[in-house]
Each structure stands twice: as C-alpha cells, then as structure tokens.
Chain A
Amino acid sequence: MRHALSIARRELKSYFISPIAYIAVTVFAFVSGFFFSTMLVAYVQQASLADQQLQKIGRSDFQLDVPTAVLGEFFRNEAFILLLVLPLLTMGLITDERRKGTLELLLTSPVRSAELVAGKFLGALGLVAVMLLPTLPFYYFLAQGGDWEPGLVVSGYLGMLLLGAAGVAIGLGISSLCENPLISAFGTYGILFTFYFIGTSAPLARTIWVDFINFLSFDYHYGNFARGVLAVRDVVYFATFVTLGLFLTQRSIESIRYKRS
C-alpha cells in the first residue's frame, strides 16, 4: 500500500505551508552562497600568487587543483550547515503528531506503522532535497571560469543527500522518543555532532583507535564523497544510520500505543 507516499506528500506540503521550509531553504542557500564565494575569492588569490611565483622562480608551490580546492572545502562546509539545520526540521515529525492527536488517526487507519515511518522519512528527505536545489547554479558560475569536474559535483551532492538521509532518520528516531520537540532537537544535535566531531580526535589517538574513529566519523565518510570518491563502504555507512533510525522509529511508535494517555 502506498500510504507512505500520501503521508510523505502531506508532510512536504505542511512544511511549505508554515514558514519553516522557506526559512530553512533561504538560510541554507544564503550561507552556502557565502561560503562558495569566499572559497572562490580565496582560490583566485592563491592562483594569482602562484602565477607570480611561477614567473619569478619558474615553479610554484601551490596546488592548483580547482575541484579539490574549491569544491571539496565547499561541500564540507555545506555538510556542516546541513547538520545545523536538520534537527530543527525533524524535531516535530512525531512529537507534533502526538500532540495534535493525529497519530491516533493514522494508527487507527488501514496504515501500517512501517508505512507511516517511511512516509515521514520521505517527506522530510524531500525537504532536504529542495533545500539543496538552490545551490546548483553555483556550478554554472564555476564552469564559466574553467575546469570543473562534473563527477565531483555529482559525488558531492550524493554525499549530501546520504548525509541528509542519515540525519533525517536519526532526527525522526529521536522525535519518536521525545514528547517535546525542543528536547527532540537537542537530542538530535547531540547525536549528529558526536558523529561529526568524533573525527577530530583521530589525529590525537593511537594507531589502533584511529581506524575505528574514522570508521564512525561522519566527516571521514562524507569527506570521501566531497573529494569525488564514490565508495560502496561509505554508502553503506550512511544507509546503516537510515536503517537504524527508521527501525527505532517504528518500534518506538508501537510502544507509544501502550502508554496510558
């Protein structure tokens, strides 16, 4: 039964009826644009410095690898902003249904709880996709200037979508555990940042731990996408979060029914 799609559609529409979606999309586009232009300016400065060096010495120390320099950094910053915005989008997913009483409506309808979870997930993921759209024109500008690798762009966006999916699934799961959207937002921030920043301890750790830390870190796996590396291992990493998040949500919803209300 494709109730999941009905629910996803309703969720997406609901995001756009309230100011939430517009604010999220605007903020994301604005901040992304800012980062993008900063990167570009920094690159141009480096490029001219490198030119000068080339003229003087005959060789240059600078790496003039446009794709990695500009795009890689850009994608990594994007990911961080995404993680900042996500919990605010997911905090109400289940908690609002409970407060409005509509969870009861959905669960007394011929809708399986798995469909409900899938629908919510797809709706929120749809919003993430919409948020990413306004950033696409940036590459057009880059393309005007010279080399840019479409492959890197594709891989970067794929990584962002996967990261978004993982974040939404986690946010959805936390939202199903909390009765208050704020607590749900905090919880989601907690988990997302833990996995994001865990990578910073990697250089400080002893060799046996380094691999493990990298294995867990958002930054590490996402970083591969940002560099244009498409690896199954990284896809599986994010997919695992999605699976766990959705599974947790479904179980949690089932247990909500047992509560005295």
Chain B
Amino acid sequence: MISVSQLTKRYGRHTAVDNLTFDVGKGEVLGFLGPNGAGKTTTMRMLTGYLPPSKGRIKVDGFDLYERPIDCKRRIGYLPENPPLYPDMTVRKFLEFVAEIKDVPARGRADAVQRAIARTRLEEVAGKRIAKLSKGYRQRVGLAQAIVHDPPVLILDEPTSSLDPKQRVEVRDLIAGLRGSHTVILSTHILSEVSTIADRVFILNRGKVMAVDSPANLGLRLRARELVKVEIAARTPEDGAEALSRDTGGEAKASPCIEQVKAALAQVPGALRVDVERQESGTVHAQVESAVGHDIRAEVADLVIARGWRLLSLGGESLSLEEIFLKLTDEGEPRA
C-alpha cells in the first residue's frame, strides 16, 4: 500500500532522515518508535506530502506522491503532533469543512461526519466551539478529521497524547478496529501501546532504522537471557523472624536459609545464575537466569514444592519493549 524508497531529508548538513526504504502492506499497522529527534515526525510529514524530501520516492496505493499528489492526498488521513484545528468553528462544522476539502462527495458528507463523530465519541460536544474544548477532546477532534473521509491510509503522529487512560484505551481499540481495512502508521512514545496494536515496529534513531520486526520477535531477538522470578514465603512468623535475624546479624556469612534456597535453585537444570534476597517481611525473592529459549519455570516450581517451601508467586520475564528501545537507541548502531 505504501512503498518508500531511499527516503532522505537533509537540512543543510544535518540529516534528519537517512535513506529509509520500506513497504507497508494493505491493512497493516506499523509502529514508529524512537527518541525525540529520531525523524519520526519528519518521515510522516514526507509521507503525507507536506514536506518535500531531499531524495527518494514515495508511493501510496500505486500513486507516486510527487507525480500525483492530489490522488495520494485523497487517500491519506493525517493527524499531526498538534491537531490542526480552527478554534472558532464548532466540531461539526469543522469536520464538514475537512470532509469538503478532502473531496467527500456532497451527498455523503453529513453521514461521513456523523460516523466520524460517533467513532471518536464526540456526540456530546459536536455543537461546541473547538476553542472551548479540553485538550483531550481536541485530540479526538484531530483524530476525527483524520478519519472523516475514510481514507485507506492513516498516518497518526502520537494519536493518544493528551488523553487520559480510559480515552487511550478507546483510541487503541479504534485503531485496532481499523486493522485489516485500513493501513495505519502511527508513532508514539508509549511503547506498551505499540506492542499491543502494531503488526510491525520500526525503531528509529537519528534518522536511521535501528530495527524492524514484530514486537514479539524483537523481544525474542534481543533478549540476552530468560529470567524466572520466585517468591517464597517465610514458613511461620517465628521462622521468618529467626531467619531474618540470622541473615542480618552483623556476621559476614550469609544465613543458612538464603544459602539453602540459592543452593537448591542452582541445582535446577539450565540455571545459569541465581540471586536470592530476603525481604523485610520475611519473604524470600529469587531470580534464576537461564539461556534464551530455555524455559525453566516448571522445574523451578517443582523444586520449590518438593522442598516443602511455600510458593507465593512465580513468573517469567522477557525483555520489555522499553528495554529493547533503550538498548537499541543507546548503541546507536543499526541492526536490521
């Protein structure tokens, strides 16, 4: 649906976007991640035809953006970082205006506007002037204007900014509902959103693509280790207090209890490293590392129970998107 080839933008000596080449398939949801200044907004501005690129070609639905800009722009809905609004207009009138300039045929305009209002839950404020709306509502009007002409392609720059958690969920559901029927490129700083809605994630840094993959795969590829976290209860209150005083008694040696747990867990096949700690409440926290792909949760659980210890909780931990993000953007080297 969208095909980008060697897209570059230079401002004097500074290269904001460096030779991006990618394709977005019909119905796909693509997430753009990256620190500020990575080039996300610049790329989106080029995709929507606002900013002329220094080099490269963009094709939307088969139309070349440079040769057939009008045809392309008809097919694109765009929500910039700051929603473009006319404060003196009412929500409905504004959406009607947008529908007009996006070439929605006159007959279907009122319906299109009504649909957009319904989808973005703006019914209550449809007659209000935009100047009087809260930031959250304004953001929704911005989203509404992007979808009012039902474009096959949506380019959304931080669509959930300014929204409260409930509204964020609504917007996320809205975008998830568009998947398949619409092609969406969205950028965000909120990594958890991207991991739930996006089919693929582009991590951008300094104008270059650092990584491209599905959120799950990215996690897999970049994981250095698997981690299992275990919580074991102190046996009885006295037990816990005794163990605690033993553990924290000013002696250099670790207490038997922690040692016991550590030694036992180290025996689990596949365990590479064990860290054990006693909390103030008496509970023991342990972390067991294993090689990537080797899931030893069951073995750890079996062991805890076999020893007669009381298992409070057990869970696996994979590298979060946040850690991936930080990892990649720190290193500064592109990894396809």
Contact = CB atoms under 8 A, between A and B. Distances in A.
Contact of B50 (A1, A6, A14, A257): A257
A107 B85 contact: no
B73 A10 contact: no
Nearest to B42: A260
B97 A6 contact: yes
Given A18-B88, A101-B84, A108 B49 contact: yes
Contacts of A110: 69-71, 73-74, 101-103
Q: 4 shortest A-B CB distances, which residue pairs?
A: A105-B84, A101-B84, A108-B48, A110-B70
Interface string B98-120: 10111100000000000000000
A6 B87 contact: no
Counting chain B CB atoms within 10 Å of each CB, the highest count among A107, A109, A257, A260 belongs to A109
Contacts of B101: 3, 6-7, 106, 109-111
Contacts of B98: 105, 109
B32 interface: no
B86 A100 contact: yes
Counting chain A CB atoms within 10 Å of each CB, the highest count among B16, B70, B73, B84 belongs to B84
Contacts of B25: none
A246 to B, nearest CB: 19
Nearest to A2: B100
B82 A101 contact: yes
Interface string B44-71: 0100111110000000000000000111
Contacts of A52: none
A120 to B, nearest CB: 13
Contacts of B78: 104-105, 108
Interface string A110-154: 111000000000000000000000000000000000000000000
Interface string B219-240: 0000000000000000000000
B76 A14 contact: no
A108 B48 CA distance: 6
A82 B69 CA distance: 39
A108 B50 contact: yes
25 contacts: A1-B103, A3-B100, A10-B86, A10-B89, A17-B88, A17-B89, A100-B85, A100-B86, A101-B80, A101-B82, A104-B50, A105-B78, A105-B84, A105-B145, A107-B49, A108-B73, A108-B78, A109-B101, A110-B69, A110-B74, A110-B102, A110-B103, A111-B73, A111-B101, A257-B52
B136 interface: no
A14 B97 CA distance: 12
A97 B248 CA distance: 67
Contact of A109 (B73, B80, B82): B73
A103 B45 CA distance: 13
B27 interface: no
A250 to B, nearest CB: 15
